Amino acid sequence: MVLIKKLISLTIKSLNFKQFMKTKTLTFILTLFFQLVSITAFSQKTAALNSLLDKNTEFIFPQTPDKISKALNIKTVFYEDANEEKYAKWPMKTGLELYCSLGKNNIVDEMFFTISDNKSVVVEGLPFGLIMNKSTLQDSKTKFSKYNAKTQKLGADSEFPGGSKLIFKKGKRFATLFFDNKNLLKSLGLTTELIDPAVN
């Protein structure tokens, strides 16, 4: 009889311990999940383009490297391509990078926005209210339909295979938006003419 009581007592303790461990494990998993969600939710950054955008959130042209450097509080990095064409870029702490070719007297008349190393960081505050790694192809089609936006599928040899390119003209400039195969915005170009796909 005593032996049976001990066995029952041990079984109850064992069940309580297993239940305790299940609860503890579930609590740990839920805590970890909510921490990851909160990290993702708060990892959205702002481009802080400040005085480079007008009241309609459009990039102001023309610019100079000095003005851009001052507005972003970042030193300009000057470089040349294989054809000895001059370029400037501004890598930001948010992961966003602005770059452009330089015209006569270093005048900036076009601008490209991209995320360095193709990171998945979300950056808001771009021209036209776009959000890198968050604005979708469908949202952009709707938003820019009044400018007769055209969509084109990207080939396997492009930077974003299986993605899409959306182009529209507003005023004197063309806006070219590149989306990956998940239809998320990865790059934005503002140019005075359409860029030939063969050009690097």
What whole-number distance in Å separates Cα of residue 105 and Cα of residue 17?
Answer: 76
CA-based torsion, 27, 32, 37, 41: positive or negative: positive
* Helix (H/G/I), strand (E/B), else coil: 143: helix
pLDDT at 200: 41
Q: Write out pLDDT tens, residues 15-26.
A: 565 565 555 565
pLDDT at 44: 80
In this structure, are strands 86-91 and 96-101 parallel, antiparallel, or unpaired? Answer: antiparallel
Q: Write out pLDDT tens, residues 84-139.
A: 999 999 999 999 999 999 999 999 999 999 998 778 899 999 999 999 999 999 99
Q: How many alpha carbons lie under 13 Å from residue 192 in its C-beta half-sphere?
A: 9
Which secondary-structure segment (H or E) carries 166? Answer: strand 164-170
**Nearest 10 degrees: Cα torsion 120, 126, 130, 133:** 0
